[in-house]
Structure 1
Amino acid sequence: MLQWFYLHGLASGPKSRKAQLLGAFLQERGQTLHRIDFNDGGFSHLTVSRQIRQVSARIAQEERVVLIGSSLGGLTAAWVAQESLMVERLVLLAPAFGFPDCWLTAGELEEWRRLGDRLIYHYGQGRSLPLRYHFVEDARTWLPHRLTRPVPTTIIHGRQDEVIPIQSSRDYAKTRSWVELIEVDSDHALGQLHPRVWQEVIGERRQ
């Protein structure tokens, strides 16, 4: 049986608005959305590597998996699918390709390195929390050009995205025939999407 997993973004959580919308949308169709919490293990020492290990361990016993990843969760999903053959489809919502260098200026990143940590507003907890600079060093090792496994992929990205430039998704899709990019009039939060987009997420238009 096909299992659906949602991977939230940085400083978010499994109860985010997108997670709840997708969960309800799938529930109406008799499906369950499993939501992975990347805050387990502490936010301050979070890394992309830790997220990849967490997801890989969670889906290890499954046979057929769809990963829906938002922002940093999208980058994580892509890397899990690179190694996990049970992942048969990806849905990436404004995936964080090129993160965090596309997010902060060189000066801001240097200040983060010098201080050792940076306060990040955590939407899931409603307060700012420190994140160690090792997060940056680790994230830079997960380069999108190394993602080569042809997993059917739908990317949904807002043209007004102020965090992850849509060009990163355009570049990614341009060199991979198995990737479909859907551009929408929205920002990074993808807060107001037409129901057609959610139908695309679960593949209803293909059926």
Structure 2
Amino acid sequence: MRLQLPTYAYAHGFLSGPTSSKGLFIHRALQARFSLDLSLLDLNGPAGIGGLRPERALSAIDECYAAGSGTPLRLIGSSFGGWAVARYAELYPDRVDRMLLLCPSFRLGSRWEHIVGGSEELAAWHAGGFRAFTVPASGEQVAVSWDFVEQTRHLVDMPTLAHRVTVIHGAEDEVVPPSFSQQFCAQCSQAKLVLVQDDHALTAVETLEQLAIEAVELFDLES
């Protein structure tokens, strides 16, 4: 009987995409050291970066599972992608083997006022129907529909899992409080939390080195 090897995939965050610098870094590192093919998922769909939606993100993960002919998933999720990965595992526990979450964006629906800079900004978004955001990687402006806010307010904001999961969170993260990851790990039976001296982006050299170490340990990789 042929052993079914797991499918590895990376889920990006809000205002990002499959060619994000962090996703590419992890992809290249796993390819160079372990000859692993990490699929870089597109959670945005045809609408591009401004088109991210919860159901679309979950569908992208499901399509990856189907493309792997039912082999178990080993998932890495960053920010909103971290929430999507965790929620998919909660919905379909038998399809996911283990996960590495990077500053997962739990409780997004209740944090929009903080994200946009106040109640007036949030009200203006609601009134106008769209809000312009700057994409960090490129500097381009994209319009995000108020519909995204409404959808995030109805999410299961912090999934509970029995899977092996490692969470790396920046102690200086001002976007998603590290306490959310602490609460998540406290309610999950096989969760490990690693706090690093970094912000939400997790792009410091020391952080990327730690990320590689944690991935090797979590996924039982051997050089």
In the superposition, the TM-score normalised over structure 2's length comes to 0.84
The residue that corresponds to 1:129 in the other structure is 142
Alignment check: 8 A CA contact 2:16 2:137 kept: yes
Q: How does 1:48-87 map to 2 (within 5 A)?
A: 48-60=54-66, 61-84=69-92, 85-87=94-96
Per-residue CA deviations over 1:67-118 (Å, capped at 9, x if unaligned) read 1000011011111111222211011100000114323434332221111111
Q: Distance in 2 between matches of 1:82 and 1:204?
A: 19
Alignment check: 8 A CA contact 1:49 1:138 kept: no
Q: Distance in 2 between matches of 1:194 and 1:187?
A: 12
In the superposition, the TM-score normalised over structure 1's length comes to 0.91
Give the CA deviation at 1:46.
2.7
- Counterpart selection for 1:139 from 152, 157, 174: 152
Secondary structure, in 3 states, of the residue corresponding to 1:200? helix
Secondary structure, in 3 states, of the residue corresponding to 2:108? coil
The residue that corresponds to 1:178 in the other structure is 190
The residue that corresponds to 1:111 in the other structure is 124
Give the CA deviation at 1:171.
1.5
Q: Distance in 1 between matches of 2:13 and 2:52?
A: 12
Give the aligned length. Answer: 206
Q: Distance in 1 between matches of 2:208 and 2:11?
A: 21
Amino acid at match of 2:97: E
Assess, with a 3 A threshold, how the Cα gap between structure 1 residues 205 and 16 changes in structure 2: closer, same or farther: closer
The residue that corresponds to 2:105 in the other structure is 96
Segments of structure 1 that go 5 or more residues without pairing to the other structure are none
Segments of structure 2 that go 5 or more residues without pairing to the other structure are none
Q: Distance in 2 between matches of 1:107 and 1:174?
A: 35
Secondary structure, in 3 states, of the residue corresponding to 1:59? helix
Alignment check: 8 A CA contact 1:10 1:72 kept: yes
Judging by fraction of residues, say which structure has more helix.
2
Alignment check: 8 A CA contact 1:94 1:164 kept: yes
Give the CA deviation at 1:204.
6.1
Amino acid at match of 1:177: S
The residue that corresponds to 1:41 in the other structure is 46
Alignment check: 8 A CA contact 2:45 2:52 kept: no
Alignment check: 8 A CA contact 2:65 2:72 kept: no
Q: Distance in 1 between matches of 2:200 and 2:208?
A: 15
Q: Distance in 2 between matches of 1:152 and 1:132?
A: 35
Supply the RMSD in Å over aligned alpha carbons: 2.0
Secondary structure, in 3 states, of the residue corresponding to 2:8? strand
